[in-house]
Chain A
Amino acid sequence: MNRSRVRVFSVVALAAACALSAVPRAGAAQQGAPALWFQGTRLIFAHAVPENGDLAVATSDPGLRKFLDKLGAVLSYAPGQRYVVVTSQDRRTIVFTAGDPSYTVAGVRARAAFAPAPAGADVVLPFFALARALYVDAVPDGDETVLQPRIGALDVRTEGGKTVVTVRAAMPLVASTDGATPDKLRVTFIGQGSALAAERRAPGAQVDDITVAVGGSPRVPTTTLTIAAARGAEYRVVPAETPDAFTVVFEPRRLAYGAPAPATSAPQNAAAGGIPAYGAPPTPPPLVPGAGAAPGAVQREPGTMPSNAPGGTPASGQPAAPAGPAAVTGIDIQQGADDALVVRVALSAPASYEWHRLLDDRWYIDFTNTTLTLPGRDEQPSFGAVRSVRIRQTGSADAPSVRLAFTTTGDQQIDVAPMEDGLEITVRTAAAPADVARTGIGRAGPGAETALTEPQPSAAPGDELWKFTPAPGAANGSRIIVIDPGHGGADNGTAHNGLVEKNLTFDIAKRLRALLVAQGWIVRMTRDTDVDPVSAANLAKMHADGKPNPDDRAYLQTRCDVANLAHARLFISIHVNAAPVESARGTTFYWYKPQDAPFAQALERAVIPLAGTQDDGTQHANFYVIHHTTMPAVLIETAFVTNPGDVALLRQPAFLQSMAQGIANGVKSFAGSPQSSAVSER
C-alpha cells in the first residue's frame, strides 16, 4: 500500500466514522438520557439529549409523537416560521418560540431550561417543560423515570349561588366516590398523581374546603380529593366536557338541581309604564313560589331564548317547544358627535334583524320574532339628518316583529352595529357612496357579540324588496321549481341516532313536491330515487378542466344543471344538519347570491312558526349548489340529527310534513302563485 492509498483510506475511514457518529440511532442516541416510561411502555426517542435539567427532543421525533398521541395532544409546526403550537386534549395551547426560552401555557408565561432551537425541518423542544404543561411530570422510580399523569388543575367557580368544582388531568379520569356523604364528597382518581396544593379553602362559596391526598406508587399513583360542602349545601356529579375532566356542582340543598327554571309571563316586560334607559337589565322573571324562589336557581344560559311555555325553559337536549320571542326592552335616542343621531335598542335575547333603505329617504329595520315591551313611539329630533323616528309592534301574534323606521333628509350614512345586549344605529350626514348597501341582515342581543352577516347590496328598489326579482338566466314567470334532496346513493350525508340524512331529505322533498304541485308549480327533483345523480358530460368536463376533485364537482354541478337548464324560477336544496356539540339545534337557511337572501328570509318566516324548530336564521355561505345555480336558491338545514330534541322531531312524520308545508308557504309568499295550472314532472 503506497502513501497515497494510505492517505485516501484514512480520509474515507475518518469520513465514515464522522458520518456514523452523526447518524442518530434509536436508543443509542438516548445515552445520558433517562429511560422514560409512560403508561406501561418505554418511550423510544430517535435523539434525546439532556440539557440544563431538561431533555432536548425534536418536534418530529417518534418518541415525542407517540407521547403526544397517547395524550390526545396535537403539535403544529412548519419550517420557515418560529412558532410551535401544541394543543392539549382539553384545548389548552402550549406555545414555544424558536430562539426564546419563555413559553406560554393557556396564555400564562413560563420559562424553560433552554430556548427551543431550529434544527433542519424541526425545532428542538424542552420535553419535560412540554410534558408538565400537559399535566405529566417525571417521577424517579429506582433507576428509571416514570412520566406520571397528574391532576393539573382544580377550578372552583361560584356562579348563580352554585359552586362548580372541576378537576382537569392529562388522561381520561377513572374516579370512585368511596365514603361519600351528602355533605362531603370523597373521590379517588386512580392512575393520577397530583400537582395540586394539599389544601384549599373556598370561603363564601357552597364549598368549605378541599383537601388533596396522594398515594399509590410512581407507576400507579392515586389522588384523593375530599370536598366538604358548606352548611346546607349538597353536591351532584355532572357530565364533564371532556373525559379528562371531572365536574361536581354544589348548591343549596333546598333547591333540586335541574328543577325547572322560573316560569315567565310572556313577554318579559321591563317597563310596563315607561321607557327604561338603555342598558338597564330586563326585569328578572317573576319567581315561582317554592323551588324557583330560592337563590341559586338554575339560570338561563346567555344567548338562549326565554321560554314562554308554562313551567319554564325545557331542559337542554329535551324535545323543546318553539323558542319564544325576544323583546325590545329599551330604546334610547341620543345626539352623538357631529350631530349624529344614535339610537340604541336593548334586546332581552338574540333576535334576527333585517334592514332596508328605500329610495324615498326612508330606512327601516325589522326585528323578527320580537315583541315590543314599550309603547309605540314617534320622535322628531331637532338635530342631525333625521326628520322622524318611529317604533311600532308589527307582524302577527304568531310571528311578531318590531319595526324601527327613520325618515332622513337624503341618502344619509347609517351604520348598524351589534352591541353586547342590543343594537346601535347611527345616522350621520354624509354624501352617500354610489354603491350604498340597501339591505342587510344579522343578529343582535345578549350573546350575539358579532353579527356574521355583512350588509349586502341589493338592486331591488323601494317597497318591492320582498317581491321576486327575475334572475339572469331564469325565465321571468317560469313555472318550474327544482327541489334538491341532499345526498343520495353511496353518499349518505350525515348519520346519527339511527337517522340517515339522505332518507330524511328525500322524505321532505317528496312531501314538498306534492304541496307545490297543488299550488300549480311544475316541480322537478334532482333525484327521485336513492341515487347520487351525476351526468357523464359533467364528469368528462370536470376531468378535463384540470381542477381538483373532478368527481365531487361533477356530482354537485349535475344538481345545479337540473335547475339551470330548466330555467327554473327557484331552487331549494334540502339537508339535515349535524354538529360536534349536542346543544346545536334548529333550522338554518343558507344563501349565497344577493337574490337568494330575500328568498331565504321568506322561507325563514314561513318555516319556523310551522316546524317549531329553533330559528338559527339566514346565513351567507359559499355552498356549491346555491353558488352555481342562476336563480334564487336556498339550502335549508332543517334540523340536527345530533340534538335529542331535533331528533325527536325528525322521527315524526308530522314534523316532516310541517317542514314541507312551511317551505311551500315560503315559496308562496316569495314568488306568489304560478300563472296557470301546472303538471308534475319528474
Chain B
Amino acid sequence: MVLVVLFVAAVAASWWWTRRVENGSPGDTIAVYYAKTDGTTLVPWRVSLGPARDRKSVAFYAAAQCVAGPPPGTDAVRFPSGTRVLAVDVDGSTADVNLSRDVASSAEGGFAENAEFKELVWTLTQPSLKISTVRVRVDGARVATLPGGHLELDEPLTRSSF
C-alpha cells in the first residue's frame, strides 16, 4: 500500500513539474533591466518572485518592477515619478502594456524615453516569459509618440528596435 502511495505521489510530482516546465514558468527570480545614466549601459538585476507563477502575473510583476526601477541610490534612468502599470495582457508572444499618463513627461529629449522603453522591452522579452514583442498603450490609448517625443510607440517594440 505504501509503495502504491509513493508511486502515485511520484507520478503526480513528475506531472506537475513537466507542466511547469512546459508552461515556461520562470524560476524564483526574474531579470529586470535598468539603463545607467550614461545612456549606453543596460544592467540586469534579479528580483524575487512571489508564489504566483502564471505568465500573466509574472509579466505584470516584471513590468511593474521595471517601472519602479532599481533600489534607491542606483545610477539609473527611471520612469517618471508616478508612472503606474495599469495592465499587462499577454497574447502569444506579444505583451500589451498599458501605462499611466505620467509616463508622457519622459519625452523630453531622446535620452530618457529611449532608455525607459529599452528597459521595459528588455525586461519583458527575457526568455522565461516567452515574449518577443511589446506593444505600448498610454492610459489605454495607442499613441504614435509621446507628446514631443521621438520614439515610435504605435509600432511593436522588440529588442532590435533599440
Q: Are B37 and A579 in contact (CB under 8 A)?
A: yes
Interface string of B37-53 (1 = CB under 8 A from A): 11111111001101110
User: Is B127 positioned at the interface, with any CB of A under 8 Å from its CB?
Assistant: no
Q: List 16 A-B contacts (CB under 8 A).
A: A81-B61, A81-B88, A82-B57, A85-B65, A85-B85, A91-B78, A97-B51, A241-B72, A443-B41, A451-B41, A454-B160, A548-B141, A548-B143, A575-B150, A579-B112, A580-B80
Q: In the assembled complex, which residues on chain A have CB atoms less than 8 Å from the CB atom of B106?
A: 580
User: Is A93 positioned at the interface, with any CB of B under 8 Å from its CB?
Assistant: yes
Q: Are B41 and A303 in contact (CB under 8 A)?
A: yes
Q: Are B152 and A578 in contact (CB under 8 A)?
A: no
Q: Are A494 and B109 in contact (CB under 8 A)?
A: yes
Given known pairs A81-B52, A553-B144, A581-B77, the reply for A637 and B110 (CB within 8 Å) is: yes
Interface string of B65-107 (1 = CB under 8 A from A): 1011111110101101111111110000000000000000010
Contact partner of A627 (CB less than 8 A), chosen from B43, B57, B152, is B152
Sample of 12 further A-B pairs with CB below 8 A, known A76-B85, A452-B40, A581-B77: A74-B83, A81-B54, A83-B57, A98-B52, A100-B51, A104-B50, A303-B75, A350-B41, A450-B41, A487-B148, A619-B40, A627-B152
Q: Are A83 and B50 in contact (CB under 8 A)?
A: yes
B55 vs chain A, min Cβ distance (A): 9
Query: Which of A400-459 touch B at CB < 8 Å?
Result: 443, 447-454
Q: Are B64 and A452 in contact (CB under 8 A)?
A: no
Q: Are B47 and A578 in contact (CB under 8 A)?
A: no
B63 vs chain A, min Cβ distance (A): 8
Q: In the assembled complex, which residues on chain B have CB atoms less than 8 Å from the CB atom of A641?
A: 109
Q: Are B155 and A622 in contact (CB under 8 A)?
A: yes
User: Is A482 positioned at the interface, with any CB of B under 8 Å from its CB?
Assistant: no
A-side interface residues toward B, CB under 8 Å? 72, 74-76, 78, 80-83, 85, 87, 89-93, 95-100, 102-104, 106-107, 109, 168, 241-242, 245, 301, 303, 350, 443, 447-454, 487, 491, 493-494, 501, 547-550, 552-553, 556, 575-581, 583-584, 586, 588, 590, 616-617, 619-625, 627, 635, 637, 640-641
Q: In the assembled complex, which residues on chain A have CB atoms less than 8 Å from the CB atom of B75?
A: 301, 303
A550 to chain B: closest residue by CB: B144
Q: Are B42 and A640 in contact (CB under 8 A)?
A: no
User: Is B159 positioned at the interface, with any CB of A under 8 Å from its CB?
Assistant: yes
B61 to chain A: closest residue by CB: A83
A84 to chain B: closest residue by CB: B64
Q: Are B143 and A549 in contact (CB under 8 A)?
A: yes
Q: In the assembled complex, which residues on chain B have CB atoms less than 8 Å from the CB atom of A637?
A: 109-111
Q: Are B64 and A83 in contact (CB under 8 A)?
A: yes
Q: In the assembled complex, which residues on chain A have CB atoms less than 8 Å from the CB atom of B68?
A: 74, 85, 87, 91, 93
User: Is B23 positioned at the interface, with any CB of A under 8 Å from its CB?
Assistant: no
Given known pairs A91-B78, A622-B155, A623-B152, the reply for A76 and B67 (CB within 8 Å) is: yes
Give bound CA distance, A76 to B114, whole Å. 22
Q: In the assembled complex, which residues on chain A have CB atoms less than 8 Å from the CB atom of B108?
A: 493-494, 578-579
Give bound CA distance, A104 to B112, whole Å. 29
B155 vs chain A, min Cβ distance (A): 7
B82 to chain A: closest residue by CB: A74
Give bound CA distance, A337 to B144, whole Å. 48
A641 to chain B: closest residue by CB: B109
Those 5 A-B pairs whose CB atoms lie nearest each other, nearest first: A97-B50, A577-B109, A82-B52, A549-B144, A85-B64
Give bound CA distance, A86 to B36, whole Å. 23
A85 to chain B: closest residue by CB: B64
Give bound CA distance, A550 to B141, whole Å. 13
User: Is B162 positioned at the interface, with any CB of A under 8 Å from its CB?
Assistant: yes
Listed residue (A85, A487, A493, A635) with the most chain B CB atoms within 10 angstroms of its CB: A85
